[in-house]
Structure 1
Amino acid sequence: MEPLTADRISAKIHEIEQRVGKLSPMQKVLIGTDGSVTNLLEMATGHSVSITTRVQDIVAADTEAAAALAIEPGDEVNHRIVELKDSVTGNVLIYAVSRTPLRRLAPEFRQDLMRADIPIGRILSRHRIESRREITDARVVQAGTDLARTFNIHRCESMLLRKYRIIHRGEPLIAIEEIFPCTAFADDVRVLVDAPSRLHITLLDMNGTSGRVDGGVGVALDEPGCLLDARKGPGLDVHGGDELLRNRVLEAARAVKEGLGLPGGADITVHAVARPHAGLGSGTQVALATAAALCRLYDRNVPVPDLARIVGRGGTSGIGTAAFAQGGFILDGGHRFGSPGGKQDFRPSAASRGVAPPPVLARHRFPEDWRILLAIPDIDAGAHGRREIDIFRTHCPVPLHEVRELCHEVLMRMIPGLVEQDIDLFGSAINRTQVLGFKKVEVAMQHPVVSSLIEAMVEAGAAGAGLSSFGPTVYAVGDSGMADVARAAKEVLGDRGGTVIPTRARNDGAAVRAE
């Protein structure tokens, strides 16, 4: 394992900045230093650093540890996980994992390492061990559940990780990983926005003879979600994701900057987002999250419906906008149709810029003990762009009698089932919805695997299953036996591939915080 040269460390830092934006000088120092991190932290915070040992075990070296320490796989190593904390605030500053081969430790050093909450650098100093540090890696990782709890952050937030070895007498004495959030030790304020995705159960009225059109029902989802952060900058720069996603964020940021007359720009990093054009509303959530971040940065208090209009969302369905604002189960009332000031034809939200989001007629908390399972097959993306526009124009208006039955299902079965927590009633309404109105059109245009998933998930015990928006995401709702439903979905996906995600409804809207 070759150590990184100074040039390679600089290159690694540049790679990191391409992912998460510009690092502060302190962050760069923590990644690249070959000295004591504990001393640096104490100088930066003005407080002493305390150590809390979370794990202290003797384990057999795996292949990775053996390579880092130049030992044989299976050799005994001391495996230690500690938190370096600010002794005054109690905040965790760095999470560190170390591995040390026992056969290279003097008895006194081993005793301090295994029994005392002492920084490794100070143990080395106490025992007068001459050593040097070799940095071997630096990169960005996602927090995950454990680190999210440790640092009290979102599990999808980006973390900075570095690996190095302490060399003594020409041999690796200790291999160490140190991890801290990208938001830690930053020079400027970052605004983080954590937004839900959503299920779009159905559009209600794509007939229009009532003088209104659209309308819909849906549910905000906890996972997969959208997480991004922003900080002030002279221009508009976007990091993370692919080029399509970055362009989408940039388009929303430009619309907000121009629409609100913001005096500056922003450096935006996307940490996580649902798969695009999968029926989960990722476009709306990314656009609104971008708008909300810029508003917080520049102290603008703008209602979510106004932000949606600025970024061109909510012109057909209001579920995504309402999910961002308040979460839960949502019923929206659609738009005026055919009259002055109303919509004049049938079209999706992406092609309805300038149309205000519809009114929210009802919002209700989704039962906490109801579970939702997503199955996303590896097939072509759901209809979008020109194709989606053509589908609306070709297949609308839908028959009025189907609109009436669909509205009856929602008003007299789906919503009462939700309010009374009768999951069988709610689920049966979901099932019936798949063969009515515009939802029937959406389902009919799917790959055969979608119908197979819906059928298999209901047969496996789900109370109800359906297609979200234009798919290809299929969802199932239940209160028990969802492991059987997940197995059934995986069997249908088979060699074709896909993702099965257990999740739940989110009864709150987007969370915005500044650090």
Structure 2
Amino acid sequence: MEIETSARLHLSLIDLNGSEGRIDGGIGITLKNPSLILECDFNDSQTEILFEDTRYSYVDEYKSKILTACNNMQEYLGINNSYRFRVKKIYPIHHGLGLGTQLLLSTGQLVAKINGVDLDVFEIAKIVQRGGTSGIGVHSFNHGGLIIDGGHKKNIKKDFLPSSASHVAPPPLLVRYDFPEDWNILIATPNFNQGVSGSREVNIFQEYSPINLHDVERICYITLMKLMPAVLEKDIVSFGDAINKIQTIGFKKIERNLQSQKVNNIIEYMLDNGIEGAGMSSFGPTCFGITDTNVKSMKKDLQDLMGNDSFIKITNGKNEGSKIR
């Protein structure tokens, strides 16, 4: 049994102020690539994890997440089987593309299905403890497209924490739109890892929250009255302007300020060369540019700017969720 899912862009958290009784909320886009393909079969002996895709240096962490999700699922289902997981395709973790959530959900879904149990993605996310801050990864896994989630009630989630440290249920889906298929998305990851995870991520949430209420109101206004209608009307200029504005306020501004100047140089290069909307996904370091024009000619100059071993990819939005076969 095999599952295929893919990366997502996290454009911004919405409300890390909470004065109206909710916190978090997120805006994101599901990508066609890069993708994750994970295979699972029963094994006679102990559970083992094999890698066909060995390009990345996070093998131990990949294994840890697969085993954690597998153990959580088995405990929930009341079973004790052994499996052979085969990682056929994967992409880097802690680069702002949401691999951790996709890996945990994929493992959970495979363990349920191979044991003949049907669980919805929302339930699996609770079991593997994902979606406790942003619901973008969970809803992208389920539906694809452009996603906006509604955050959590403060009487359920009482503190500002990242998803990795928050064990509440995923937030409700507010909006899911098809992302225009003819809009190109340029993904650019520099050759250094300044993504944020673990205790450092927790400390940043605690230090910088709550954010200014005016910023939250501004993000909500831009999202509701510019970003959302721009997607429906396929207005790339308005959509790009909404992205650019959201990138400079609220918690996203904090995430950007904590990154290397190289990240800002990449984003500025994209904007200076005709990309309508550009920014940093999640805590980075992956940057993105969204446009309805051809960006193939930009790759070489961007590679020179970013340095050797940087990752550059042209992709599109993905308007469907994970596929199991």
TM-score category of the 2 structures, normalised to the smaller one: over 0.9
Could you tell me how far apart the structure 1 residues matched to 2:294 and 2:262 are? 22
1:199-239 Cα shifts (integer Å, max 9, x gaps): 00000001111100000110111111111100012432211
Aligned counterpart for 1:237 among listed residues 48, 59, 70 = 48
Residue pair 1:192, 1:512 contacting (<8 A) in 2 also? yes
| Pair 1:347 & 2:161 matched | yes
Report deviation, 1:490. Answer: 1.8
Which SS does the other structure have where 2:296 is aligned? helix
Could you tell me how far apart the structure 2 residues matched to 1:295 and 1:463 are? 42
Residue pair 1:373, 1:500 contacting (<8 A) in 2 also? yes
Partner letter of residue 24 of structure 2?
A: D
State the aligned residue count.
Answer: 318
1:299-336 Cα shifts (integer Å, max 9, x gaps): 11001011011111100000000010010100100000
The share of aligned pairs that are identical, in percent, is 39
Give the structure, 1 or 2, with the largest relative contact order (CA under 8 Å, sep 6 or more): 2
| Pair 1:411 & 2:245 matched | no
Residue pair 2:121, 2:142 contacting (<8 A) in 1 also? yes
Higher percent of residues as strand: 1
Match of 1:293 in 2: 110
Could you tell me how far apart the structure 1 residues matched to 2:86 and 2:259 are? 33
Report deviation, 1:263. Answer: 4.8
Residue pair 1:460, 1:484 contacting (<8 A) in 2 also? no
Residue pair 1:461, 1:484 contacting (<8 A) in 2 also? no
Aligned counterpart for 1:320 among listed residues 110, 118, 137 = 137
Match of 1:506 in 2: 318
Could you tell me how far apart the structure 2 residues matched to 1:314 and 1:451 are? 28
| Pair 1:203 & 2:13 matched | yes
Aligned counterpart for 1:214 among listed residues 24, 39, 45 = 24
Match of 2:203 in 1: 390
Q: Give every structure 1 segment of 4 or more consecutive aligned residues whose post-TM-superposition deviation is greater than 4 Å.
A: none
Could you tell me how far apart the structure 2 residues matched to 1:466 and 1:409 are? 16
TM-score scaled by length of structure 1 = 0.61
Match of 1:181 in 2: none
Report deviation, 1:446. Answer: 0.5
- Could you tell me which runs of 5 or more consecutive residues in structure 1 were left unpaired when the two chains were aligned: 1-190
Match of 2:294 in 1: 481
- Could you tell me which runs of 5 or more consecutive residues in structure 2 were left unpaired when the two chains were aligned: none
Residue pair 2:194, 2:259 contacting (<8 A) in 1 also? no
Which SS does the other structure have where 2:285 is aligned? coil
Partner letter of residue 315 of structure 2?
A: T
Match of 2:282 in 1: 469
TM-score scaled by length of structure 2 = 0.95
Q: Structure 2 matches for 1:57-456, cutoff 5 A? A: 191-234=1-44, 235-240=46-51, 242-337=59-154, 339=155, 342-353=156-167, 355-456=168-269
Match of 1:131 in 2: none
Report deviation, 1:294. Answer: 1.1
